[in-house]
Amino acid sequence: MKNNGFVKNEHYIPRYVLKHFKNDNGDIYFVNIKTEPFKWVKSGINRVMVEKDFYEITNNNREYILRNKHEKEYSIWETENAPMYDDFIKLSSKIDFPEQFNKLVTEDQKNFCRYEAAFLLHTALLLIRGIGIKQIAMRTKDNINKREQNILGLMLLYPTEDVLAYAKELYAVDEIETIDEFIKSNEKQNASKLLIEHLLNNFAIRVYSASGEESFYLSDNPVLVQKFDQIEYMLPLSPQLCIGLYHQKWCKGNPLSDPNVYRLSDNQVKKINRQSLKNTKSIIISQQNTDINFVKSILSGSNDNIQKDILWEK
């Protein structure tokens, strides 16, 4: 089967995110936590947080099924979301960012809601398309074959009609009825739509900035879920900016948005980086390729995540 014109190495973290973690020379520094000794490696965007045929499925003849279909769909989403992301990062670089953000929230609610919706959707899609999604599908059912694992993985990500389109290519005509029953019996696994609706309807964003020498890391599994007190989801946007998702509060039927930018000390940024390291599957990025001993100390320590970190002492 000809591969001309197809994408092989597919990003599971969008390029528009990665570019904001480049240093002044245009390079990205990362540590692969699966290789020792731990060290910072210099790379370009095209080579970091990618995996060959990440979204692809093959049949028994090792032929691609609907090659690049979902890569193209994610590209459309990235093209739509990237300008909002870039604009907000640009806004955050201004000296008077806290004042401008406060004005955005309090005086231009419509425009702020566009940013907020973009970041909520961004968070949901990072969770959906994440590097760990295949492992989740595979450990959900122990007694199913590889093709059924593929179908179950797709059901975590895509609408039923897309899953059926794959099934028709993967299975013989006389097998379709069986796999159709399998899909119907596992319909609750189709979680992508529910997750997007859950975040968009129930959460608001809170903005944090690094105020000292430390900067935020970017993990290949970047969304921190229930790692911090009163924050359900935490996500670095750039080396200097981070958002937290908290349960939306209401007053007389109107959403209450937080107009503050919370400045974090070096110690608080390190707490977030600590959780990012513990959440990492293999690759962690830092704009400051400096304290490798911090990376070593976290990775060699306990991975017990039961106790949540507290950014502010009560």
User: Tens digits of per-residue pLDDT, 35-90?
Assistant: 888 889 999 998 898 887 777 777 778 888 888 887 788 888 888 999 999 999 99
Q: What's the pLDDT at 155? A: 78
* Cβ neighbours, 10 Å, residue 231: 20
Structural domain includes residue 288: yes
Summarize pLDDT for 131-159 with one digit per residue, the tens: 665 555 555 555 667 767 777 777 777 77
Q: How confident is the model at residue 303 (pLDDT cuts 50, 70, 90)?
A: very low
Contacts of 197 (CB under 8 A, 6+ apart): none
Residue 2: the pLDDT is 41
- The pLDDT of residue 8 is 72
For 210-247, the pLDDT digits (tens) are 999 999 999 999 999 999 988 999 999 999 999 999 99
When mean pLDDT is compared over 34-43, 100-109, 299-308, the highest value belongs to 100-109
Please report whether residue 252 resides in a domain: yes
Q: Average pLDDT in the 288-305 region? A: 74
Mean pLDDT, range 162-182, rounded to an integer: 82
Note every long-range contact of 106-109, with CB atoms under 8 Å and residues 24 or more positions apart, other chains counting.
106/259, 109/257
Is 148:155 a contact under the CB 8 Å cutoff?
Answer: no
* Within a domain: 154: no
Specify if 151 maps to a domain: no
What is the reported pLDDT for 314? 30
312 has a pLDDT exceeding 60: no
Note the pLDDT of residue 290. 72
Phi-psi region of 88 (alpha: psi -120 to 50; beta: other; left: phi over 0): alpha
Instruction: Residue 289: give the domain boundaries.
Output: 9-108+202-299
Q: Report the chain's mean pLDDT, rounded to a whole number.
A: 84
What contacts 264, CB < 8 A, 6 or more positions away? 208, 209, 210, 211, 242, 272, 311
Q: For residue 186, is it within any domain? A: no
pLDDT for position 96: 97
Distance CA 50, CA 67 (A): 17
Lowest-confidence range among 17-26, 48-57, 119-128, 239-248? 48-57
Q: Is residue 195 part of a domain?
A: no
Mean pLDDT of 101-116: 95
Task: Tell me the percentage of the chain whose pLDDT exceeds 90.
Answer: 47
Could you give the number of structural domains in the chain? 1
Q: Which residues contact 234 (CB under 8 A, 6 or more apart)?
A: 223, 224, 227, 228, 242, 243, 244, 245, 272, 275
Higher pLDDT, 248 or 10: 248
pLDDT of residue 287: 85
3-state secondary structure the chain: CCCCCCCCEEECCCHHHHHHHCCCCCCEEEEECCCCCCCCEEECHHHCCEEECCCCEECCCCCEECCCHHHHHHHHHHHHHHHHHHHHHHHHCCCCHHHHHHHHHHHCHHHHHHHHHHHHHHHHHHHHCCCCHHHHHHHHCCCCCHHHHHHHHHHHHCCHHHHHHHHHHHCCHHHHHHHHHHHHHCHHHCCHHHHHHHHHHHEEEEEEEECCCCCCCEECCCCEEEEECCEEEEEEEECCEEEEEEECEEECCEEECCCCEEEECHHHHHHHHHHHHHHCCCEEECCCCCCHHHHHHHHCCCCCCCCCECCCCC
Bin 262: left if φ > 0, else alpha if -120 < ψ < 50, else beta. beta
45: in domain? yes
Residue 145 lies in a domain: no
